[in-house]
Amino acid sequence: MPVSLRPAIAALAPYRQGRPAAEDAFKLSSNENPFPTLPSIAAAIANASVNRYPDGTAQALRTRLAARHDVEFDAVHVGAGSVSILSQLILAAAAPGDEVLYAWRSFEAYPGLVTVAGATSVTVPVRADGSHDLEAMAEAVTDRTRVIIVCTPNNPTSAIVTRDEFETFMARVPDDVLVILDEAYVEFVTDPAAVNGLEVRGEHENLVVLRTFSKAYGLAGLRIGYAIGAPYILDAAQSTAIALSVTDAAQRGALAALDAEPELLGQVAALVSVRERIAAALSNQGIAIPEPQGNFVWLATGEHTVAAGEVLSEHGIVARVFPGDGIRVSVGEPESVDKLLDATAELVRTLPQGLPSAGLG
């Protein structure tokens, strides 16, 4: 007789790593930073201790982040990737029968994290331009809602939430509902109207801001992210965490990345200019995309998504394909841009209705 598992967990699709990119292909499927690790960061990681357990309170890094963001030490919580902190916060706030509300399509990890917590996902479709419909989300709040996740820029559509929209939304959300502002890509934002969680946090005790070292800081493989919010909420998150999962290497790597911030933000600026080049070229090809504010662009290929993904792949572009919906392409090496644009030009020529040229933007 098979072992009895929680039916909701057994029904989840098992994790499968994406197909490895061919040697001459560009891996643009995980929104990673394409630049090689800086020597100073590599040296800091090489000095990490592995025979001892790490500092479970991440004292040095939290002190540094608190100073960096001008908040108190206890208002900073560190986790093994910001996705770990998302899981901790959902576990801390939502139990079976409770609802977790978020936009869809958004970060593909959200549904699974909610299911694992035993809570119920409630989703509100993003608007045609890929942005959150915060009005509809406010209307979807019930007395069961315990957590709301707002992702800006939204993965995978790359659209932002504006500060005005966010403030209007927060005014409608009950104070006892935890709002998580997932800002994994905030460093890539150039739109001055965008919300910045750390600028608005002071007004909202129920808001926790999530940031990561995985994207702009190039440490995806080390697994380290952080949250800034009310200490009692972060203490609850810590209580649901697996102890000691943030390694010494990750803590040292993050500190070294903060030391190298000017250089890393220079890389971000370079990626933003590649992003602008891609957006302008797609527009010239007649392809409408949501205005990209993360390190990725969204092609709303709809029912042609699988075929479009194959065309990209034939051109040496490995992107994230969401069948029936669209394709997210990370902004990567400048050399990848021509291949991407050759592929999208072919899509315009060969797809039955071409790529979306209306309804977006």
Interacting residues toward ligand PLP by CB under 6 A: 31, 81-83, 107, 151, 155, 182, 184, 212, 214, 220, 225
For ligand PLP, the closer of residues 225 and 345 by Cβ is: 225
CB of 51 to ligand PLP, least distance (A): 26
For ligand PLP, the closer of residues 227 and 345 by Cβ is: 227
CB of 7 to ligand PLP, least distance (A): 27
Half-sphere exposure of 67 (CA within 13 A, CB side): 8
Q: Please state whether the peptide bond connecting residue 127 to the residue before it is cis, i.e. omega within 30 degrees of 0.
A: no
- Cα diameter, the chain: 60
CB of 214 to ligand PLP, least distance (A): 3
CB of 123 to ligand PLP, least distance (A): 15
Q: Phi/psi of residue 149, each to 5°?
A: -110, 125
User: In this chain, which residue has its C-beta nearest to ligand PLP?
Assistant: 81
CB of 42 to ligand PLP, least distance (A): 19
CB of 296 to ligand PLP, least distance (A): 9
For ligand PLP, the closer of residues 295 and 344 by Cβ is: 295
Q: Phi/psi of residue 191, each to 5°?
A: -75, 115
For ligand PLP, the closer of residues 26 and 102 by Cβ is: 102
What is the distance between the alpha carbons of residues 260 and 140, in angstroms, rounded to a whole number? 43
CB of 77 to ligand PLP, least distance (A): 13
What is the distance between the alpha carbons of residues 136 and 145, in angstroms, rounded to a whole number? 14
Helix (H) or strand (E) holding 322: strand 317-322
Show Cβ contacts of residue 269 under 8 Å, excluding neighbours closer than 6 positions.
Answer: none
What is the distance between the alpha carbons of residues 92 and 119, in angstroms, rounded to a whole number? 11
**Which residue blocks in the chain are alpha helix, DSSP H?**
7-10, 39-46, 59-69, 82-93, 109-117, 134-139, 163-172, 197-200, 231-240, 248-259, 261-284, 305-314, 336-350
For ligand PLP, the closer of residues 244 and 280 by Cβ is: 244
Q: Six-digit token pair at 319? A: 């992107």
For ligand PLP, the closer of residues 76 and 184 by Cβ is: 184
CB of 319 to ligand PLP, least distance (A): 14
For ligand PLP, the closer of residues 161 and 311 by Cβ is: 161
What is the distance between the alpha carbons of residues 219 and 214, in angstroms, rounded to a whole number? 4
Strands 120-125 and 207-212: unpaired
For ligand PLP, the closer of residues 124 and 311 by Cβ is: 124
